[in-house]
Amino acid sequence: KANVTLKLDASLLREVRVLAAEEGTSISALLAARLEQIVRERKTYERARKRALARLREGLDLRWTPPRSRDELHER
């Protein structure tokens, strides 16, 4: 693992310390878990986006047929 240095406002750092203590974890573990979640969500989004774009390129078979002429409908 690698170390990262962050610059935070004192008030934000105080809030983060409280949050980490409430969850029974360290600030480092709290941030690492949240960053992992962000990366995982991004990968999931990208996979879904690629699948959706592939489906759009393939198109959907709507079984559309051109409408019949007026004469065919009324058999004149």
Comparing C-alpha atoms, which of 13, 16, 15, 45 is closest to residue 33? 16
Quote the tokens at residue 69: 């002429």
CA-based radius of gyration for the chain: 28
pLDDT score at 73: 82
Over the stretch 11-43, which tens digit does the pLDDT of each residue have?
A: 999 999 999 999 999 999 999 999 999 999 999
Over the stretch 42-76, which tens digit does the pLDDT of each residue have?
A: 999 999 999 999 999 998 888 888 888 888 888 76
Q: How far apart are CA 21 and CA 30, in angstroms?
A: 10
Q: How far apart are CA 56 and CA 50, in angstroms?
A: 10
Q: How far apart are CA 16 and CA 8, in angstroms?
A: 10
Global pTM? 0.63
